[in-house]
Amino acid sequence: MILLTSATGTVGREIAALLKSQGVPFKAASRTPSEAGRKLGVEAVAWDWTRPQDFPTALAGVDTLFLGTPPGTTQEMEWGLSAVEAARKAGVRKIVKLSAINVENMPDSPHRRIELAVERGGFTWVFLRPGFFMQNLDEGLAEGIKATGTISVPTGEGRTSFIDARDIAAVAAVGLTGNRLDGRGLTLTGGEALTYAEVAAILSETAGYPIRHHDIAPAEHTEILVKAGIPRHYAEFLTMLYHEVVRNGYASAITPGVQEATGKAPRTLKGYARDYAAAFRR
């Protein structure tokens, strides 16, 4: 039996849809299982990251775990390590972990610390290390885009090889249902690296109004995020990603991971813009 944590999240819900379409049995884990069960149309069990004492109940009978920890919290490592330990005690054999790009070079990062615990725990494992999600645009930036006609991020002319969460889910499904990816850490990107000015031009075509990139000052970007309700520590982290990682070209690498794992080329931003056009229309 497969258990999906963060089953209603950006990637989790796409994995759930794929597994359901393939007739693969799985359970969804959620803080609100009745709501998750209704949304996904599958069996759901209670999983509250703040209550690791309840993890064994959710893990009963599970042999494969999709581990996706919640972003935006200082407790991500603590929660992830608790889940790994509970999985070990429950006899889970395999963990497919949603990680992040380049963590193999950052030994002290929460994601890498969790990966190392998985490796030491005796599990069969697959680590998914995606870059920036295309869905960050509709989930995090769409309201600002609609209000101002701008994508306000401090990236300059830096390029990003955006990946669609649906492609991450497709790779995850391969890892969860077979053994071809076992023991691999897969860096997952899209097939093109775009500036935010190019992103704005693509979104303009389907949104129906002009959108441009505003290369906002880092401090201003952080304050906008804080006013939107994002905790300051995470707002500062996101600003750092845009201003230091993207601006300096560190988000532009293109890898063949999606093609190798699924046999299909990754989705393009133009395809994403068509599929998600409603999220940006005024």
The domain locations on the chain are 2-130, 137-159+192-279
Task: Of 69, 70, 66, 48, give the one whose Cα is nearest residue 57.
Answer: 48
Q: What is the pLDDT of residues 130-175, one digit of tens each?
A: 999 999 999 989 999 999 999 999 999 999 999 999 999 999 999 9
> Which residues, including other chains, have CB under 8 Å from residue 197's CB and lie 6 or more apart?
157, 212, 213
**Average pLDDT of the segment spanning 263-280:** 97
Q: What is the pLDDT of residues 36-66, one digit of tens each?
A: 999 898 999 999 999 999 999 999 999 999 9
Q: What is the pLDDT of residues 75-111, one digit of tens each?
A: 889 999 999 999 999 999 999 999 999 999 888 899 9
Say yes or no: domain 2-130 is CATH 3.40.50.720: yes
CA atoms within 13 A on the CB side of 54: 10
- pTM, whole model, 2 decimals? 0.95
Please provide the average confidence, as pLDDT, over all residues in the chain.
95
How many CB atoms sit inside 10 A of residue 140's CB? 15
Task: Of 149, 73, 86, give the one whose Cα is nearest residue 123.
Answer: 86
Tell me the C-alpha distance between 226 and 234, whole Å: 9
| CB 247 within 8 Å of CB 239 | no
- Single-letter amino acid code for the residue at 88: R
CATH architecture of 137-159+192-279: Alpha-Beta Complex (3.90)
Q: b/e map of 3-19 (b: 16 or more CB within 10 Å)?
A: bbbbbbbbbbbbbbbbb
